[in-house]
Structure 1
Amino acid sequence: MAKEFMLTQLNELQGELISKFFHGLSNPTRFKIALSLMESEKNVSQLVEELGMKQSQISNQLACLKWCGYVSSRQEGKFVYYQITDERIRTIIELARQVVADNAEQINSCTRI
């Protein structure tokens, strides 16, 4: 009985963490940053120019992405360059793009999300 309870708790915790993982990419700014970093590593100035957002917005969202392990950074002189940390992030984003391409109309019209 105790083992079943522990497994239920573990499954609930894992479900919460997986949901939180996807929430990390659900913010449009964080997602745009991740897409940009899939192309190549970039510094904040490059992301500001490319995405047309304020430096503070980019820095704040990069801090979140870094904290959660989606991106890592390296310093070169006075610049900090960011890159996708884990190739599986690229795979997940590509899979999501494929699912969206196949189901765009349904996703767009969904009123329950």
Structure 2
Amino acid sequence: MSTRAVSPLLSHTSAVELHAKLFRGLADPSRLSILKALCSRGLTVGEIVAATALSQSNVSNHLRCLSECGLVTGEQRGRFVHYRLSDPRIDQLLKLAGELLTDTAQAVDQCSNYEGDG
């Protein structure tokens, strides 16, 4: 796993702000569901809809956001666009979060500090 900094040109505050922005993007349940669905393989919008039970318009809107932020890429194949994670480290990040929740799920669930922040 890479230990590279965000960018040598960024100040400490800017790097922290970028981290916070990334995690705000991941905090949305719909976007997180889409990313988790894409961990196993590339999927079309219809396949993502089936995997997440989200509406097609919701999936399309969140895919646009995820794509603009560089977390997802799409490749046209015939009539369909196949979306995939832009970097395998996104899968690793989600797996690490799952491992962390194994030990902290009850406390996270009971925490009221971040309710309504998403």
TM-score by length of 2: 0.85
What is the distance in 2 between the residues matched to 1:107 and 1:29? 19
Tell me the CA shift for residue 23 of structure 1: 1.0
The one-letter amino acid of 1:91's match is Q
Tell me, what secondary structure is at the counterpart of 2:11? helix
1:85 aligns with 2:98: no
Identical-residue share of aligned pairs (%):
33
What is the distance in 2 between the residues matched to 1:32 and 1:100? 16
The one-letter amino acid of 2:48's match is L
Residue 16 of structure 2 corresponds to 15
What is the distance in 1 between the residues matched to 2:107 and 2:50? 33
Q: What RMSD, in angstroms, separates the aligned Cα atoms of the two structures?
A: 1.1
What is the distance in 1 between the residues matched to 2:88 and 2:40? 12
Residue 51 of structure 1 corresponds to 52
What is the distance in 2 between the residues matched to 1:51 and 1:112? 27
Residue 68 of structure 1 corresponds to 69
1:35 aligns with 2:36: yes
Tell me the CA shift for residue 24 of structure 1: 1.1
Tell me the CA shift for residue 43 of structure 1: 0.5
Tell me the CA shift for residue 50 of structure 1: 2.1
TM-score by length of 1: 0.88
What is the distance in 2 between the residues matched to 1:65 and 1:50? 17
Cα deviation, 1:4-58, whole Å, max 9, x if unaligned, reads xxxxx81111111110011111100000000000011100011112222211100
Structure 1 gap ranges (5+): 1-8
What is the distance in 2 between the residues matched to 1:96 and 1:70? 17
What is the distance in 1 between the residues matched to 2:97 and 2:52? 21
Structure with greater helix percent: 1
Moved over 4 A (4+): none
